[in-house]
Amino acid sequence: MPTWKSRGLRGSTLEELINRSNERYQELGLALIQKIPTPITPINIEKETRHITLAYFDQKSTVDYIGAVQGIPVCFDAKECAYTTFTLENIHPHQVRFMSDFERQDGIAFFLIYFTSLNEFYYLPFRRLKEFWERAENGGRKSFRRDELSDDYIIRSPGDSGILIPYLDLIQRDLDDR
């Protein structure tokens, strides 16, 4: 069984916060966002407990979440970053292609990044990520620093709504900034 520090459980707290936020958005009738499971093929299963002990990924995953916010298609990926510099190695080319295709279909793609050292949740519009991605492809830095990001996309405290990571307001800002 993986331990808390294992690679397989990184981001599980962030995902749990997002899942609870998405449930609350659904209860309020504001959005319907679903977690996309990564497809796996089990190799070994313990007979007594029915736990999968060995498996491989069937295919590359695209994004962590997909759904609709008041009729607008959205997709996003959740990432944790222990430092104030985010390495682009954490994002895969197939994810960038999927998000780019998604936006070409008039959807909104973004990343929710939790900068753990700052205890800060950040909404990164896909178009901004793409700028960093293209910079790296052209021989520039293969990362970006938190201080390169606009403070306008910091996810503020939830208030009384019961939404742990209130990112919907940032989707509206993203739309307004297009």
- Which residues fall in the annotated binding site for Mg(2+)? 62, 64, 77, 95
Pairing of strands 85-87, 120-125: unpaired
Give dist(CA 169, CA 155) in Å, integer: 9
* β-pair partners for 120: 115
Residues 6+ apart with CB under 8 A from 112: 14, 18, 76, 77, 78, 79, 121, 122, 123, 124, 155, 165, 167
- Residue set of the binding site: 62, 64, 77, 95
Residue located via tokens 């998405």: 22
**3 state SS of 92:** coil
